[in-house]
Amino acid sequence: MSYDRSVSGHYTHGELLDAIRASIGQLGKTIDSITIEDLAPVDEFHVGGRLATENLLDQLNFSEPDQILDVGCGLGGASRYIANKYDTRVTGIDLSQEYIDVGKELSAWVGLDKHVSLYQGSALAMPFEDEAFDGAIMLHVGMNIDDKMKLFVEVYRVLRPCACFGVYDIMQINAGELVYPVPWSTDNSTSRLATPDQYIEALEAAGFKVSTHNNRREFALGFMKQLRLKSVAGGGPPPLGLHILMQDGAAAKIKNLADSIAADLVAPVEIIAQK
């Protein structure tokens, strides 16, 4: 099996759209009444969810009528949020065909299918023209990509001059072995963590100028604590949440990640760069 297929297979659910539709019913909502706010707990697959997306966007200069790229878009939750917030067009690309298919349906449900375009493909060889976008984001994607240099060269290629690029990834902070599974990998065969310094080195080698990088460890610990408290208070996870994506292994994946962040082995880190 190829590496890309192994990574994609890790994220494949098989019946994801049906699972989300059933959970919507448990919320007392329908496809016609669901909103992007309702979907946020399941369609923003990164530590901190919607709040983390907002934190990153606050450091970027996106505005109407920019064309924005979402690298490794997953279900397109961040893409839809950006399109709605800035009244702009967003293009997402992701390795998982199921995520793209489901993401297109979710965009249609909330009336954003004309503003959000999602494509299946590799971030290392994107099917877009040179200098096609005014800005880009990448949320929790690099953990599965070994060649960060190739990744950032490709992002640089499709961005216009002066475009901002916001990265929010889990990064290696101190030496040590993770306990698996974690949200992005069942074992170390598809986990490709790098340090913030390695990210910055690859970004600068690709041509970017890095302006900021923020270790978001404390934010992550607080977010995960709140998740645990809400789960206990509610007698289990809410109808819509990331446990739907991670299925039966959700509890172990989240616990192992939380333990690794608490031990200061890894942390979510923001990096802001400009072409």
Q: Which residues of the chain have pLDDT under 70?
A: 1
Q: What is the pLDDT of residue 218?
A: 97
Joined tokens for residue 209: 């100028």
Length of the chain: 275
The Cα 141–Cα 167 span in angstroms is: 9
pTM of the entire predicted model: 0.96
- For 236, residues 6+ apart whose C-beta sits below 8 A from its C-beta are none
Q: What is the pLDDT of residue 159?
A: 98
pLDDT digits (tens, 9 = 90+) for 17-27: 999 999 998 98
The Cα 97–Cα 245 span in angstroms is: 14
**Nearest CA among 77, 62, 177, 157 for reference residue 118:** 77
The Cα 73–Cα 86 span in angstroms is: 17
Residue ranges of domains in the chain = 3-274
Q: How many Cα neighbours within 13 Å face the side chain of 228?
A: 11
Q: What is the pLDDT of residue 83?
A: 97
- Phi first, then psi: give them for residue 235, nearest 5 degrees: 70, 25
Q: Which CATH superfamily, name and number, covers 3-274? A: Vaccinia Virus protein VP39 (3.40.50.150)
Which residue has tokens 């096609």? 132
Q: What is the pLDDT of residue 197?
A: 98
